Each structure stands twice: as structure tokens, then as C-alpha cells.
């Protein structure tokens, strides 16, 4: 199709640009939409607040690198965990304030790439992978690159209507913050048990490579939208959540171990559940046809 010619075509294009201009604010999550039009008067505090939290998450992730340089490994990883918490908070606030947009999604993805891709790769390299010449650095590169590729894939699919995983309430591959948390799993075990076998460079390199490929895999993974506790156990879920918060203060490493193993255990369940949905869709399409 040729480009429009004449003033009429240009005016139509300009009208579309003004009408579709995005509002400033990070996305709530990978499975959220991006509604709204821009406020021509400029940025409001409501629109700036979620992005400020996103910037705080970025600062936390990069501060983790600073702690790793000085050998404060626990603080380094906790800084990345704080970045993950802020990454979830900024999105929820953006959704509550109706401040989601493509700009916010881009900013959030850039922050995620640094906090959950580059920062974990450098932290793990300085912690133990530098003792494994060449292959240790390649493992760190693989993780950082796969995280960036995952986020680029997400941005490229924002406007794509045909997304089978998303329409069923699932994500594609392991989310970046979760991938960073899983990458640190050997460290959690090492710091709690003191067993140096969890600090083996080859083990860490292989584990980091596996998580890197899970980030860019096409497997369906559970999202918060897919987890719907039954009415009978909702009060129990609230109690467990409160206890998890207390555990975060008292036994943060054991809590992170539990969350990581729990997520890995739920991955087969997610695949089975999505397979069931695919079969139902296939049967419905055959019936309609």
C-alpha cells in the first residue's frame, strides 16, 4: 500500500498520532493491556509516580552490583529481590491510577533488563563464575542476553492480538524477575547450609544456562491471573501470605528457597493446565467448523 499523498493524508496521520499518543506509566504486568490517551497538558504526578518507582527498582538492581563488587553477597542479592518487589508494586500502582502506556512498558522493560538480566549475571560472575575461565563468563552473557531478548519479544508483541498463552491467562517463558530469583537458588542453599558444593562454578554455570533458556522458551508458565484459589481456602491463603511476610523478615533465604522450589514444582502443572485448554480450544474449533 502506498503512503498517503497530499495535505488530507498528512492531516489524517497527524490526527491518528495525537489520538493514539500514550499516557506515561509502567505496565502492571506482562499480561496487562495498555489503555488510554495522552494528556496534552503534560505529565501529572499521578503519571510520574509509577515511573519513579520503576526508577527506584532500577537503582536497587544496580546497587546490587555495587554490593557484589565489595563482596557483600547477601546485600547484593537482597537488592535484586527489592528490585523485584518494586517491579511488582509499580505496575499495580500504574493499573490503579490508570497510568499504563507503551512508554511505561518500554521504561519498565529497560529497567528489568538491567536489574534482572545484567545485575544477576555480574553478581554471580563476581561471586563464583570468575573461577571458571571462559565458560563462566559465557554463562553470565547467556543469561543477560536471554533476559534482554525475552523483554524485547514482549515489547514486540504488545499490539499482537493473537497471543494464545496470554488469552488463556498464561505467560510465555519464565518472567524476568522470577528468572533472576531462580538464578540465585544455589546461593540461597549455600548461605543457609554452608555447603561449598552449592558454590561449585560448573554447577552454577550450568544452572544459570538452564534458567537463561527458560527465559526465552515458548512454554506456557503460570501468571497471577491463572492462580485462582477456591473460595474455601481463600482465608488460608491470606494467613499463609502473612506468615510468608514474617518469614521474609526472619528467614529470608529459606523463604526464597521455598518460593523458588514452589515455582519450579508448579511449572509442570502449568504445562498440563495449558495443554487441557489447548485441547478444549481445538475441540471447540472443530465443532464450530
Q: pLDDT tens for residues 70-97? A: 999 999 999 999 999 999 888 788 888 8
Contacts of 10 (CB under 8 A, 6+ apart): 4
Q: Can you tell me which residue has the cell 504488545?
A: 158
CA distance 257 to 244: 12
Q: What pLDDT, on a 0 to 100 scale, did the predictor assign at position 190? A: 95
Q: What does the H/E/C string look like for the chain?
A: CCCCCHHHHHHHHHHHHHHCCCCCCCCCCCCCCCCCCCCCCCCCHHHHHHHHHHHHHHHHHHHHHHHHHCCCHHHHHHHHHHHHHHHHHHHHHHHHCCCCCHHHHHHHHHHHHHHHHHHHHHHHHHHCHHHCCCHHHHHHHHHHHHHHHHHHHHHHCCCCCCCHHHHCCEEECCCHHHHHHHHCHHHHHHHHHCCHHHHCHHHHHHHHHHHHHHHCCCCEEECHHHCCCCHHHHHHHHHHHHHHHHHHHHCHHHHHHHHHHHHHHHHHHHHHHHHHHHHHHHHHHHHHC
Q: What pLDDT, on a 0 to 100 scale, did the predictor assign at position 15? A: 42
How far, in Å, are 62, 109, 121, 152 from residue 68 at the CA level? 10, 23, 11, 27
Q: What pLDDT, on a 0 to 100 scale, did the predictor assign at position 221? A: 87
Residue 264's closest CA among 218, 226, 210?
A: 210
Q: Can you tell me which residue has the cell 490508570?
A: 98
Q: What pLDDT, on a 0 to 100 scale, did the predictor assign at position 68? A: 96
Half-sphere exposure of 22 (CA within 13 A, CB side): 16
> Domain 43-158+169-288 belongs to what architecture?
Up-down Bundle (1.20)
Per-residue pLDDT for the chain (289 aa), expressed as one digit of tens each?
444 444 444 444 444 434 444 444 455 455 554 444 444 455 566 778 888 889 999 999 999 999 999 999 999 999 999 999 999 888 788 888 877 766 777 788 899 999 999 999 999 999 999 999 889 999 999 999 999 999 888 878 766 666 777 767 788 889 999 999 999 999 999 999 999 999 999 999 999 999 999 999 988 888 766 566 667 666 777 888 788 888 878 888 999 999 999 999 989 988 888 888 888 877 877 776 5
Sign of CA dihedral 230, 261, 124, 210: negative
Q: What pLDDT, on a 0 to 100 scale, did the predictor assign at position 38? A: 45
Q: How far apart are the first and last CA of the chain?
A: 33
Supply 138's cell numbers: 559465557
Phi, psi of 246 (to 5 degrees): -65, -40
CA distance 286 to 31: 28
Amino acid at each position: 500500500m502506498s503512503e498517503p499523498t497530499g495535505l488530507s493524508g498528512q492531516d489524517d496521520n497527524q490526527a491518528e498520532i495525537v489520538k493514539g499518543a500514550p499516557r506515561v506509566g509502567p505496565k502492571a504486568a506482562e499480561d496487562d493491556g495498555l489503555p488510554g490517551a495522552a494528556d496534552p497538558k503534560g505529565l501529572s504526578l499521578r503519571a510520574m509516580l509509577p515511573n519513579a518507582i520503576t526508577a527506584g527498582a532500577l537503582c536497587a538492581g544496580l546497587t546490587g552490583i555495587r554490593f557484589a563488587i565489595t563482596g557483600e553477597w547477601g546485600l547484593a542479592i537482597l537488592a535484586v529481590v527489592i528490585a523485584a518487589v518494586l517491579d511488582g508494586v509499580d505496575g499495580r500502582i500504574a493499573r490503579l491510577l490508570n497510568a499504563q502506556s507503551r512508554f511505561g512498558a518500554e521504561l519498565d522493560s529497560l529497567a528489568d533488563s538491567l536489574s534482572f538480566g545484567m545485575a544477576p549475571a555480574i553478581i554471580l560472575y563476581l561471586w563464583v563464575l570468575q573461577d571458571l575461565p571462559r565458560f563462566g563468563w559465557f554463562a553470565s552473557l547467556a543469561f543477560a542476553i536471554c533476559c534482554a531478548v525475552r523483554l524485547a519479544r514482549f515489547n514486540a508483541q504488545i499490539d499482537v492480538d493473537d497471543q494464545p498463552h496470554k488469552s488463556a491467562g498464561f505467560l510465555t517463558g519464565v518472567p524476568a524477575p522470577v528468572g533472576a530469583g531462580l538464578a540465585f537458588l544455589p546461593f540461597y542453599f549455600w548461605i543457609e547450609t554452608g555447603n561449598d558444593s552449592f558454590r561449585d562454578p560448573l554447577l552454577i554455570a550450568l544452572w544459570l544456562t538452564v534458567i537463561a533458556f527458560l527465559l526465552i522458551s515458548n512454554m506456557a508458565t503460570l501468571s497471577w491471573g491463572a492462580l485462582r484459589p477456591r473460595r474455601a481456602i481463600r482465608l488460608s491463603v491470606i494467613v499463609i501470605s502473612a506468615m510468608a511476610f514474617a518469614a521474609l523478615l526472619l528467614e529470608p533465604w529459606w523463604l526464597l528457597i521455598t518460593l523458588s522450589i514452589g515455582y519450579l514444582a508448579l511449572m509442570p502443572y502449568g504445562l498440563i493446565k495449558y495443554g487441557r485448554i489447548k485441547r478444549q480450544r481445538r475441540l471447540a474449533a472443530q465443532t464450530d467448523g
